[in-house]
Structure 1
Amino acid sequence: MELLDAARVRALLDPRALVEALRGAFADPGELVVPPRGHHRIDDALEATLLVMPAWQREHWLGVKVVGHYPHNGSRGLPVIHGSYLLADATTGAPVAVLDGGELTRWRTAAASALAADLLAPQEVREHLVVGAGNVAAVVPHCYAAVRDVGRTRVWARDPDRAADLVRRWQDEGVEADVAPDLRAAVRTADVVTTATSSTRPLVLAEDVRPGTHVDLVGGFTPVMAEADEALVTGASLFVDVLEALHEAGDLTQPLAHGRLTPADVRGTLADLAARRHTGRVSAQEVTVFKSVGTALEDLVAAGLVWEAHRAALGGGR
C-alpha cells in the first residue's frame, strides 16, 4: 500500500479531467453505492466535526474518507480540513493507497461546482467573485477554467491579508485576479459568486445579486452554517449536489424550518444536470443557486483518478 501525500495528489489531479470524470459518474453512476455518511460532533467549543464517507463500485474501487473539519483553524494558520482517504480494490478488499484527504476534498469540491456551473452559469463570465480565502477557495479558478473562459477572478475574505496573499498566488499561477475590498459591492458586479466559508451568517444577500447571476454555495454543510440569505435561496432557481443537502445545510434547513422553502422547490440535483434530465439555466435573466454539501461519489472518483494517474506515471497498471 502506498501513501500519496498532498503534493503528490495535487501533481496528479488534472482539473479538466476531474470535472469530466465527475460529469460521467453523476450522469451514469452504474453500480456505484454511496451509503449515508457519518456526521459526528467532536468538540462543541471548537465547532469541530468528524465526517466518515464510504463509497464503492462493483469490480472497481472501494474507498472511505475520514475528515475532520475545524473551522477555527484558519486563525491558527492551519487548514480547516484535515483528512485521509483509504482506496481499496472493490473485488478483493485489498487496500492500494492512502491519499491526503484534505487535498482530495478541496479539488473534488471545486470540480463539482464547476460541473454545475457548466449548465447553470452565464456563458460569458466577465467577473467571478470568490468569497473566502481558504484551501477550497484557492483552487476554484482552476476548476472553473475547465468550463468557462473567466475574465477576472476577485476574492473577498474577512482577513484582507489572506485575500491579498491568495491573489498573489493566483497571479503567479496565471489567473487574472484582484482583491474585492467591499463584499456587497463586489457581489453587485459579479456574473458568478462562489462562497467557500464556514460562515454562520449570510454573506451574500438577494438584494445585491444581479439578474442572470449564478451563485455557488460551497462552504456550509451543517444546519448552523449559512452563506446566503433566505431571500436569495427562496427566490432563485435552486439546485443541489445531492438531496441530503436539504437536511444538512443551514442555507436550506433554515428556510425549510421557517416555511419559506419546500423540498419541491429544488429544481434538480447535480445528477439531473449531468444526465440532462434538467436543462439548467433557461433564461439570461435567471438567478441560479447551486448548494453543495459534498458526496462520497466525488471522493471515490477523484481518488481513483489520482491512483490511476500515479500508476501510469510509474509505468504500471491498475
Structure 2
Amino acid sequence: MRNDARLVLLDKHQVETLLEPGQVVEAVREAFALHSQGKGRVFSVVRESLATGAVFGIKSGDVQSQDLLGFKAAGFWPGNRSLGGEPHQATIMLINPITGRPVCLIDGNAITTMRTGAAGGLGLTLLARADSTRLCVFGTGVQARVQVSFAMRVLERLASIRYVTVDGQRDAAFEAQFIGRCEVSHASDRDVAVAESDVVITATPGSGPLFDAQAVRPGTHFNCVGADTKGKRELPEGLLKRARLFVDDRIQARQIGETQWAPDTACIEIGDLITGVTEANRQPDDVTVFDMTGIALQDLTVARLVHARAGETGTGTSLGWPW
C-alpha cells in the first residue's frame, strides 16, 4: 500500500496564470494530430439533461503511448447567472493509466475556453481565405470573445468586426475589449452582416438558425461553436449541403454538432489537414464550415501542459492522497 502519493489541485486563478495562448495552440494542434494518427483515443461522450434544467457531460480519452489518460466533467447550469456565477462549469482530472490513481484535479473552465479558442484559430489558419478582412461574430460572451481574440492573432489582414447580439442591443464591454485593435461595430441586420463578411463565427447557446442561408456569399468561412448537444444548431437548413465541411471528430459532430442536421454530408477531420493526410485545396469561392464540438484530447493535452507548468512554477496545492 503506497502512502506517499500526491494529488495536485489547481483552481481557476492558478490555471489562468499558467495558460499561454501560443502554447495552447500547439497543444491543441498535437491533440488533433494524435487523433488523426490513431494514437489518441476519444471515448463516447456523455451528454444528458438534468432535472435542475442543467446539461451535464463527460468527455474522456487517452494517449496510450504517452501515458495520458483523463476526463472532463462539464456542462451548462443556466441558474448560475442568478447566483452571479458562470453557467458553464468544467472540471478536468488527469489519471495515472498504470495505477488508475488521480494525478491532478483542475478547474476546467479556463482550459475549455482557451482550447476552444485555439481550435478556432487553427480552423481559420487552415480554412479561411488568407485575404479575409471582415469578420462577423454571433454572440458576445466568453467564447465569442476568445474566438475573436484568436482570429485577431491569425488573420493578418483583419480590419473590421461586426457583432450580433441576442437582444439586438450594443454590448459596450465587448466593444471595449477590441476597439483600437480594429474597427468594431454592432450589426442590426444579421443577414447583411453575414453577406458582408469573409469569416463568420457563431458562438451562441445554439437555440436555432441565426441567419438565412441565402445571405451566405461564396468564399465565406464559418467557425461554428454553439452546437455541442443533440437538438442544438446555429446554421440554417441547407447550408451544409453547399459547403465544404470540416470537423474535429466525425462521429461526435454527427451526434451533437452542427453536422447532426445533415449527417450524410461528406466531411474531413481537421487533424487530417494538420498531419497531411489530405489537403484543404480551398478555392476562392468555396464556402467552408468548421464544426467545432470539442474533443477530449484537446482537454487532456492542454491539462497536461498546465500540470507540467504548475510543477515548474510551484503553482497549486499538493495533497497527500495515500492508497
TM-score under structure 1 length normalisation: 0.86
Say what the alpha-carbon RMSD is for the aligned residues.
Answer: 2.5
Cα–Cα, structure 1 residues 300 and 176, in superposed 2: closer, same or farther, change >3 Å? farther
- Using CA pairs under 8 Å that are at least 6 residues apart, name the structure with larger relative contact order, 1 or 2: 2
DSSP-derived class of the 2:230 partner = coil
Work out the number of aligned pairs and report it: 305
Shift of 1:143: 2.2
Candidates 224, 238, 249, aligned match of 2:245: 238
8 Å contact kept, 2:34–2:40: no
Q: Does the alignment pair 1:283 with 2:283?
A: yes
When structure 1 is superposed on structure 2, of 218-227 and 69-78 the one drifting more is: 69-78
- Deviation digits for residues 266-306 of structure 1, max 9, x if unmatched? 23012222212221242111110111211101100111112
What is the deviation of 1:4? 2.0
Note if contact 2:27-2:298 (Cα within 8 Å) is conserved in structure 1: no
- 2:162 counterpart residue number: 154
Q: Which amino acid aligns with 1:10?
A: E
1:104 aligns with 2:96: no
Comparing 92-101 with 102-111, greater Cα deviation is found at 92-101
Using a 3 Å threshold, how does the CA distance of structure 1 residues 72 and 127 change in structure 2: closer, same or farther? farther
Q: Counterpart in 2 of 1:35?
A: 43
- Match for residue 200 of structure 2? 193
Displacement of 1:178 in angstroms is 3.3
Q: Quick one: structure 1 residues 302 and 311, their matched pair in 2 at CA, closer, same or farther if it must change by over 3 Å?
A: same
Q: 2:171 is paired with a residue of what secondary structure?
A: helix
Equivalent residue runs for 1:201-240 within 5 Å: 201-240=208-247
Q: 1:234, CA displacement in angstroms?
A: 1.2
How far apart, CA to CA, are the structure 2 residues paired with 1:303 and 1:72?
Answer: 27
Q: Pairwise mapping of residues 67-106 of structure 1 onto structure 2 (< 5 A)? A: 67-70=74-77, 78-106=85-113
**Structure 1 letter corresponding to 2:189:** D
Q: Calculate percent identity across the aligned residue pairs.
A: 32
Match of 2:256 in 1: 248
The C-alpha deviation readout for 1:96-136, integer Å capped at 9, x for no partner, is 32222222111111211221221110102212222112221
Write the distance in 2 (CA, Å) between the matches of 1:175 and 1:309.
33
Q: Which moved more, 1:71-80 or 1:111-120?
A: 71-80
- Counterparts of 1:202 and 1:72, CA distance in 2: 24
Helix, strand or coil at the partner of 1:99: strand
Q: Give the match's secondary structure for 2:137.
A: strand
The answer as to whether partners of 1:240 and 1:266 remain within 8 angstroms in 2 is: no
- Name stretches of at least 5 consecutive residues in structure 1 with no aligned partner: 257-261
2:177, 2:83 → 1: CA distance?
Answer: 20
Distance in 1 of aligned mates of 2:285 and 2:242: 13
- The question of whether the paired residues in 2 share the 8 Å contact of 1:184 and 1:204 is answered with yes
What residue identity is the alignment partner of 2:44?
P
Alpha carbons of structure 1 residues 154 and 14: separation in structure 2 relative to 1, 3 Å: farther
TM-score, scaled relative to structure 2: 0.85
Code of the residue aligned with 1:300 in structure 2: it is L
Q: Which amino acid aligns with 2:227?
A: G
Query: What is the CA distance between 1:72 and its match in structure 2?
Result: 6.6
